[in-house]
Amino acid sequence: MMTTLGTDKRNAWSLTADRVDLTRRRQPRPITVRCGEHSVTMDLAATALVIIDMQNAFCHPDKAGSDGPARDPIAPLQKLMPELRRAEVPVVWVNWGNRADGLNLAPMVRFPFRDDLDGESFIVKDGFDAAIVDGLDVGNDDIMVDKYRMSGFWDSQLDSILRNLGVSTLLFAGVNLDQCVLTTLTDASFLGYDCVLLEDCAATSSPDFCTRAALWNIERCFGFVTASGDVLKGLTSDA
């Protein structure tokens, strides 16, 4: 009798009583997406959507304003996520979820979260600020990863989860583009992942020149930049 060993079919062994099959039976599912001056073909079977910090702390109307830039990714993500889930692309939420005592946070990590009036206000796991903002639904098979640094890869389970899923291409979305999204994307590129930023699914409350600099560096050093609409076109035309 054949059984499987692994938490995900993309990275599982096949077993019988006396035989172990280490081959992964993954059928490539290529789609082609326009990324600036490049036409980029990626394998949906090896792709994940990584959504960073779409949390109340940054995106709730009381924090960002009813039409603040941090809310801009909500609408395009609402359209894109169901189609990616339908294509069996994992959706990975990477969010601040700190210990309440902050014992794992060095002073330099805590410094940006200080509040001159109320003291520190770093984001605590399971609190209101840590919750995903209304308007974005978490699917039953979506994956949640707590992060404790600007980059989602430091001190977290993100890298091991992605590798266990057999993922090599990452679509990036979230806030803030020039901070947590950029540092996570940069670390991903250093780790050997293929990185694609979804420009309309990422935003920042920083000045405009920060967005321009982030996009310039991503396109020239760390990956590719596209829009969710181009991914949707690729899903349709390559279906």
Q: What CATH number is associated with residue 202? A: 3.40.50.850
pLDDT single digits (tens) 109-137: 888 877 654 545 789 999 999 999 999 99
Closest to 194 measured CA to CA, from 65, 53, 41: 41
| 74 within a domain of the structure (yes/no) | yes
- Confidence band of 143 (pLDDT split at 50, 70, 90): very high
Total domain count, the chain:
1
Selecting among 53, 72, 178, 194, the annotated active-site residue is 53
| 229 within a domain of the structure (yes/no) | yes
Omega before 217 within 30 of 0, i.e. cis: no
| 191 within a domain of the structure (yes/no) | yes
Q: What is the pLDDT of residue 129?
A: 92
Going 205 to 209 to 210 to 214, the CA torsion angle's sign is positive
Q: In this structure, are residues 168 and 193 in contact, taking their beta carbons and an 8 Å threshold?
A: yes
Is 59 one of the annotated active-site residues of the chain? no
Q: Which amino acid is it at 7?
A: T
Selecting among 35, 59, 180, 201, the annotated active-site residue is 180
| 2 within a domain of the structure (yes/no) | no
| 11 within a domain of the structure (yes/no) | no
Q: What is the pLDDT of residue 24?
A: 79
Q: What is the pLDDT of residue 114?
A: 77
Is 53 one of the annotated active-site residues of the chain? yes
Structure token digits, residue 164: 């266990």
pLDDT at 26 over 60: yes
Domain of residue 109, residue span: 25-237
pLDDT single digits (tens) 179-201: 999 999 999 999 999 999 999 99
Is-above-0.75 flag for pTM? Answer: yes
Selecting among 72, 147, 200, 201, the annotated active-site residue is 147
Structure token digits, residue 196: 């694609």
Is 195 one of the annotated active-site residues of the chain? no
| 162 within a domain of the structure (yes/no) | yes
| 193 within a domain of the structure (yes/no) | yes
Q: In this structure, are residues 178 and 206 in contact, taking their beta carbons and an 8 Å threshold?
A: yes
| 5 within a domain of the structure (yes/no) | no
Q: In this structure, are residues 60 and 133 in contact, taking their beta carbons and an 8 Å threshold?
A: yes
Question: Which of 178-210 are b and which e, b meaning 16 or more Cβ less than 10 Å from the residue's Cβ?
Answer: bbbbbbbbbbbbeeebbbbbbbbbbbbbbeeeb
Q: What is the mean pLDDT of the chain?
A: 93
Whole-angstrom CA distances from 153 to 17, 52, 149, 206 are: 38, 11, 8, 23
> Dihedrals φ, ψ of 115, to 5°?
-125, 120
- Top pLDDT among 214 and 23 is at 214
